[in-house]
Amino acid sequence: DARVTQTPRDKVTEMGQEVTMRCQPILGHNTVFWYRQTMMQGLELLAYFRNRAPLDDSGMPKDRFSAEMPDATLATLKIQPSEPRDSAVYFCASGFSGNTEAFFGQGTRLTVV
Amino acid sequence: QQPVQSPQAVILREGEDAVINCSSSKALYSVHWYRQKHGEAPVFLMILLKGGEQKGHDKISASFNEKKQQSSLYLTASQLSYSGTYFCGTSGGGADGLTFGKGTHLIIQP
């Protein structure tokens, strides 16, 4: 049963610490998305990759967030330094390019205290 | 620009119908509909790519009025399993990433 896998599922960290979230997309998918979900803002697109190349990261605070795809089986989202306002559920999703359905992982619930 | 969904919330009895609307202030290339249950990931429902296109499966269908930059999701004879938050996501063309509306909370009561 193919699925997007995200780790960790939950993360509690102190303000100022570095946080790394990982995502394993579904094998064969060439597009990977990072979304953030909060009560206030809803689901926001942070960045996405096509064939491992970053295509759009305009939704990310550039000074503290970075997203990479070291290889086709791993996408990472890093926050350094973390702040309480970064507390949210971060979803990774994968799919094929060209307006097709995206499959979401179970998310990483991040709490920054 | 985030699409606007209406209503924000709706409570129905099992078997009743519901319509959820999604409108955008900018030209739409496609509209995607997802459903999310509490504590779970969003799950894909359908994509509409052409103006006037209507799609559906089971008792959930959708329409896309490209001219009015609007889409509507129709839930017919709702079932308890339809409860959740429904999101529309839009793209402006050429890009795969979606801009989602704030969601419509749907509660189905027995």
Strands A19-24 and A74-79: antiparallel
Domain total of chain A: 1
How far is the C-alpha of A76 from the C-alpha of A85, rounded, in Å? 20
pLDDT at residue B103, as a whole number: 96
Q: What CATH number belongs to B4-92+101-109? A: 2.60.40.10
pLDDT at residue B66, as a whole number: 83
How far is the C-alpha of B77 from the C-alpha of B14, rounded, in Å? 7
- The residues that bridge with A35 in the sheet, in sequence order, are A45, A91
pLDDT at residue A102, as a whole number: 93
> Which domain covers residue A71, as residue numbers?
5-112
Closest to B2 (Cα-Cα) out of B30, B32, B29, B22: B22
How far is the C-alpha of B56 from the C-alpha of B66, rounded, in Å? 18
Mean pLDDT of the region B72-100: 89
pLDDT at residue A2, as a whole number: 86
- What is the residue-averaged pLDDT of chain B? 90
pLDDT at residue B80, as a whole number: 95
pLDDT at residue B50, as a whole number: 66
How far is the C-alpha of A36 from the C-alpha of A88, rounded, in Å? 6
**Residues of chain A scoring pLDDT < 50:** none
What is B36-88 written as a DSSP string? Answer: E-TTS--EEEEEE-STT-EEEETTEEEEEETTTTEEEEEE-S--GGG-EEEEE
Q: What CATH number did the domain enclosing A26 receive?
A: 2.60.40.10
Look at A52-61, B72-81, B91-100 and tell me which has the smallest mean pLDDT. Answer: B91-100
B96: three-class secondary structure by DSSP: coil
Task: Please identify among residues 1-60 of chain A the ones whose CB lies closer than 8 Å to any CB of chain B.
Answer: 31, 33, 35, 42-45, 48, 50, 55-56, 59
The 10s digit of each residue's pLDDT in B14-56 is: 999 999 999 998 888 889 999 999 999 999 999 998 666 667 7
Confidence of residue B94 (pLDDT cuts 50, 70, 90): low
Partner-chain contact A98 B96, CB within 8 Å: yes
Tokens for A88, please give them.
């949210």
Partner-chain contact A56 B2, CB within 8 Å: no
